[in-house]
Amino acid sequence: MTRKIIIDTDPGQDDAVAILLALASPELEVLGITAVAGNVPLSLTQKNARIVCELAGKTDVPVFAGCDRPLARNLVTAEHVHGKTGLDGIDLPDPTMPLQDAHGVDFIIETLRREPTGSVTICPLGPLTNIATAFQRAPEIIDRVQEIALMGGAYFEVGNITPAAEFNIYVDPEAADIVFKSGVPITVLPLDVTHKALVTKPRNNAFRALGRIGEVVASWTDFFERFDKEKYGSAGAPLHDPTVIAYLLKPDLFSGRHINVEIETKSDLTRGMTVADWWHVTDRTANATFMGDINADGFFALLTERIALL
């Protein structure tokens, strides 16, 4: 049986690779893609999502535009990492497939109302604005979500946009707070995992050898690599968002702990910090499975094998 998912995303090159992995995987049925403002403004993330669907030849996947700004804050973007378009790398044609008329939040609400309870997984790859807005507007859908598997947060690695916070959670901490308090089973793929999923030269060469789509993927990772390598001095850039999809396909590639995770919304200094009780030093109730490790070779083998199918 296939697993039904909604991808909520702010592409972003690593979001784009995550979308390709999902679209290439027969175990997953992508019910729709909802764009959110994050790495770049919404006008670009919704367009980029359609560019990626067209690249994969999957123009039947509906793409929706969701929220264009965080719940309570000004939008912070990350062109310094992803470039002006969010998808800098090889130039790709503008999409011809249409953007759906419905708002992304309405699509999330209607899909969860329509599909059987516990049959839809949400995969947020950007700020959690769309998901939190859907939960606020239609609280009855919360119990209908099978699982939320998201990229965001950090514990040992702490922050990438500030010393204390990871980008997706930092951009809309109020939304993250709503989602983490929702009671939905949550699996978190934080920086602790993604900073072990480095696109080394041999791994990128393996993408490049796959033909047209592999070349595009390699050009994306080459682009954001320049930023990450300089910043971390590492052997390659972390490939964040595809870990979410890989977790759905092969959960055994990952290990972590079921713990309490709270979101810092008050302090300016630590805004968006994921306060993860990794060592169980409080009696706060566990609300998330927080991954800490990844079999990186297995992850890149899966990615390469699936991108080759497109």
- What is the pattern of x (binds ligand BDR, CB under 6 A) and - over residues 53-92? -------------------------x--x-----------
Interface of this chain with ligand BDR, residues 115 to 144, rule: CB under 6 A? 125-126
Which of ligand BDR, Ca ion, none does residue 167 bind (CB under 5 to 8 Å by kind)? ligand BDR
With residue 293 as reference, give the H or E element that holds it: strand 288-294
Is 63 within 8 Å of 46 (Cβ atoms)?
Answer: yes
Of the candidates 156, 190, 165, the residue with the CA atom closest to the CA atom of residue 264: 165
Q: Which is nearer to ligand BDR, 166 or 264 (CB)?
A: 166
By CB under 6 A, tell whether 39 contacts ligand BDR: yes
By CB under 5 A, tell whether 12 contacts Ca ion: yes
173: Cβ–Cβ under 8 A, 6 or more apart, which residues?
Answer: 73, 165, 263, 264, 265, 271, 272
Which of ligand BDR, Ca ion, none does residue 78 bind (CB under 5 to 8 Å by kind)? ligand BDR
Token pair recorded at residue 94: 């503008």
- Kindly state the smallest distance separating residue 232's Cβ from ligand BDR, in Å: 13
Which of Ca ion, ligand BDR, none does residue 64 bind (CB under 5 to 8 Å by kind)? none
Token pair recorded at residue 7: 């991808």
230: Cβ–Cβ under 8 A, 6 or more apart, which residues?
Answer: none
Catalytic, 82? Answer no
With residue 267 as reference, give the H or E element that holds it: none
- Kindly state the smallest distance separating residue 143's Cβ from Ca ion, in Å: 27
DSSP 140: G
Is 221 within 8 Å of 206 (Cβ atoms)?
Answer: no
Which of ligand BDR, Ca ion, none does residue 160 bind (CB under 5 to 8 Å by kind)? ligand BDR
Task: Return the SS3 of 122.
Answer: strand
Interface of this chain with Ca ion, residues 235 to 274, rule: CB under 5 A? 241
Q: Which is nearer to Ca ion, 237 or 259 (CB)?
A: 237
Of the candidates 225, 112, 124, 205, the residue with the CA atom closest to the CA atom of residue 167: 124
- Kindly state the smallest distance separating residue 126's Cβ from Ca ion, in Å: 4
Q: With contacts defined by CB under 6 A, name the span among 106-114, 161-169, 213-221, 282-290 that binds ligand BDR.
A: 161-169
User: Whole-angstrom Cα distance, residue 84 to residue 81?
Assistant: 9
Active-site residue list: 240
Residues that bind ligand BDR (CB under 6 A): 12, 14-15, 39, 78, 81, 125-126, 151, 160, 166-168, 240-241
Give the footprint of Ca ion on this chain (CB under 5 A): 10, 12, 15, 125-126, 241
